[in-house]
Amino acid sequence: MAKFEKANSVGEWLDQRLNLTALNKVMMTEYWIPKNINFLWAMGVLLATTFGILVISGLFLMMYYKPDVNLAFDSVNYTIMQEVAYGWLFRHMHGVAASVVFLIIYIHMFTGIYYGSYKQGREMIWISGMLLFMTFSAAGFSGYMLPWGQMSYWAAMVITNLFGGIPVIGDALVVWIRGDFNVADATLTRFFMLHVFLLPIVIMGLIGLHFYTLRIPHVNNQDSDEVDFDAEAEKYLSGNKKESQVIPFWPVFISKDLAVLGIFLIFYFYLVFFHYNFAMDPVNFDPADNMVTPAHIYPEWYFLWSYEVLRGFFFDVGPVKAFDIGLAAFGFANAIFLLLPFLDRDTQILPAHKRPKFFIWFWILMVDLIVLTVYGKLPPTGINAWVGFFAATAFIILFLILPIITKSDAKKRGA
Amino acid sequence: MKELKILAVVVVLTLITYWGVEPFAHSQMHPHVEEPEYSFKDVDGLNGLTGNAEAGAVLVQSNCTACHSIESQGFPKLMDDASSAAAYGVVPPDLGTAGKLYNADFLAAFIKDPATATKTSHKFVDGKIHPMPGYSWMQPQEIADMVAYLQSIAPEEMTNKEVFTNACQRCHSIKYGDMQNGTMTAFTPVENIKSYMGKIPPDLSQYIRSRGASYLHEFINDPQKHLEGTAMPRVGLTQDAEEQVVAYMKEVGDSKADERAALGPKFLIYLVIFAIFAWLWKVKQWRDMH
């Protein structure tokens, strides 16, 4: 055991036992970030804050929410929204944050893609991030069920039905997931458990992993410059702050994050108070009714692009059913981003504007995702169905040709 | 400045996506309908006749009180709600407030031919008849007299809740209106209303949020506009009465709207102050870096 001496302060007492000074250095004051970053690098802190808001507002909601098909709707729309002091505030904060968190995740994700932050040594950052995205998606979906409104019920019906398309075990899997032959009380109760316990715990673990994956390769920067972090850190510590290419996480990096956070919170609370409707589908204010199907069933905006890939393939091809093609495409869409570091065959880390073909690829992908998102909400009839089909096909082709494009960019540079 | 350019790109992409999934999608999924029309020009109403309330009193009391109560004039209900619903299919309304709630031309047209005025004649085919018999055999002047009488006995002022109770609650519940005591349950028992309307009319507690005020105005004014073939009758509410109905639905379904509006600006002012200090701190920290 280490030798302990009498401490002169609480801080010293803790320092002897927990080595807080060293921890503080590693985590904050000597955790080095490249200086050459823009506000897009603040998205991590924004996400952590939004997740914090979700957890805290969620705890308050859980105090009054009843996971029971007979009580759920009224416990949300009457008890929480009207009886509990400021219950409406917590619900709107939770609902809006659930939507906004995906906006920030997407910005975070496409920043990574644009600047090549998933490449050469940073694969684990990307993969852990994508796992976080998937877990957030599961948390978003399971949470959407809980108010037991019409869209909650039918979204759950449609999404759980998808698993029926899996060969051999499909039908049994659907029953296993629902805990019943139908979307019913058992489904609601287990989704409640997933939403308030299991998935948040997994998210917290993954956030820890995601942070850890940054420590060794360090974060990328605007020009994808390779930085010798040790040498630059030395410069900084010796007082040569202007010439050093790096800054410490605390207080320099975080000061910019907090400035960006200030702007973000104005935007976020503006939505909470004055524009919460965008995150609250009006159909979901009708109680769930298994006898009446809504005119249009669609998921929340952040799932629309992959939903549109799912239903974009609306006609059978020979013996293969449209549903099965769609399901395969849906599976592809949800897994392919995970493989991005291995699809990009460029030997160098460079931002998109220094890789001409990749640059075009990136913007086509952005446009395609927006088209998929918009058409994912519209009724899939007439011309809409065809737009969906072409956009879904384009999405798949984009990823199939990515290795060729990135290789060709590298070749042209003479690499 | 480069960061502003990047911010502009992020904002523009976000707004395009927002526009696509909100305003654009709504315009595609909810077809535009005509504005509510409160003069009920399409009905065969009073046609300019002015009624005599005294003559109307005799007519109403001898023709209507066999089924309808007029409690304020000393004609109590003859049966409880369950019995009258069993007898007529739906609880007949008390007529004490009809003169205030309903447009005079509509009332006249309704007395003459209820199914046509309410646009529900599609329901009354194959021997089914509207529970209220038409009085088109009467002289137009007599009908005008009855309308004048109903208007003369109507109260000057009614609360939003009273308007809702008189105009809607025979068929619709709005349970959040009095969640604990359950007094805002529909008057007509579930089995009767279901067989009369074809389905149980929805509870209206959250309709202010699921449909929104402007849809409700359009719908109440003429249900066929948004739901062709619906069993819900056009009830002929005046503009004032309809506004009171929607106001009550808002009181019940969105009771914290005022609190929200009052708290919002305070939150935002605090956050603006936070953002200013955060930027100042950032400027201070980064001064040494460049």
Ramachandran category for residue B132: left, alpha or beta (phi over 0 → left; psi -120 to 50 → alpha):
beta
Are B137 and B188 contained in the same domain? yes
At B1, the pLDDT band (50, 70, 90 cuts) reads: confident
Q: Which band of pLDDT confidence, cut at 50, 70 and 90, is reported for residue A415?
A: low
Rounded average pLDDT over A242-254? 95
First to last CA, chain A: 55
Query: CB–CB of A280 and B209 under 8 A?
Result: yes
Residue contact A270–B290, C-beta within 8 A: no
Question: Across all residues in chain A, what is the average pLDDT?
Answer: 96
Mutate to test the interface with B, among A70, A75, A377, A387 (most CBs of B within 10 A): A377
Rounded CA-CA distance B82/B72 in Å is 22
Label residue A181 by pLDDT band (50, 70, 90).
very high
pLDDT digits (tens, 9 = 90+) for A53-69: 999 999 999 999 999 99
Phi-psi category of residue A34: left, alpha or beta, with phi > 0 → left and psi -120 to 50 → alpha? beta
pLDDT tens-digit readout, A20-31: 999 999 999 999
pLDDT in tens, B138-180: 999 999 999 999 999 999 999 999 999 999 999 999 999 999 9
Q: Do B189 and B75 lie in a common domain? A: yes
In a domain, B17, yes or no: no
Is residue A397, in this structure, part of any structural domain at all?
yes
Q: Are residues A271 and A339 in the same domain?
A: no
| Cα B166 from Cα B99, distance rounded (Å) | 12
Dihedrals φ, ψ of A246, to 5°? Answer: -120, 160
Shortest distance, CA A79 to any CA of chain B (angstroms): 10
> Do A182 and A292 fall into the same domain?
yes
Same domain, A111 and A230: yes
d(CA A400, CA A406): 11
Q: How far lies A55's CA from each of A50, A96, A204, B247, in Å? A: 9, 13, 10, 35
pLDDT at B254 > cutoff 80: yes
The residue from A297, A327, A342 where one domain ends is: A297
Residue B92 reports pLDDT greater than 80: yes
Same domain, A141 and A201: yes
Note whether residue A7 is domain-resident.
no
Q: Which two tokens stand for residue A106?
A: 């997407």
Angle at CA A244, nearest 5°, toward A242 and A248? 100
* A309: nearest Cα among A391, A384, A379: A391
Place A5 in a pLDDT band, splitting at 50, 70 and 90. Answer: confident
pLDDT tops 90 at residue B219: yes
Which of B16, B260, B278 has its CB closest to that of A88? B260
* Residues belonging to chain A: 415
Cross-chain Cβ contact A301/B21 below 8 Å: yes
Q: Where in the sequence is the domain holding B154, given as residue range(s)?
A: 41-253
Alpha helices in A64-184 (DSSP H): 72-74, 87-115, 123-145, 150-162, 170-178
The complex scores an ipTM of 0.94
Cα–Cα distance list, A98 to A50, A93, A95, A207 (Å): 8, 8, 5, 17
- From chain A, the residues in CB contact with B179 under 8 A are 74, 78
- Which residue range(s) make up the domain with A92? 31-297
Total domains, chain A: 2
End-of-domain residue from the set A265, A297, A329: A297
Residue A62 in any domain: the answer is: yes
Name which of B285, B287, B288, B290 to mutate to probe chain A: the one with the most chain A Cβ atoms within 10 A of its Cβ: B285
CA distance A254 to B280: 13
Does the pLDDT of residue A2 top 90, yes or no? no
Mean pLDDT of A251-263: 96
Q: How confident is the model at residue B30 (pLDDT cuts 50, 70, 90)?
A: confident
Please name the residues in contact with B95: beta carbons below 8 A apart, sequence gap of 6 or more.
Answer: B60, B64, B68, B69, B70, B150
User: How many Cβ contacts (< 8 angstroms) between chains A and B?
Assistant: 129
pLDDT bracket for residue A197 (50, 70, 90)? very high
What's the structural domain count of chain B?
Answer: 2
Question: Which residues of A23-91 form beta strands (DSSP E)?
Answer: 32-34
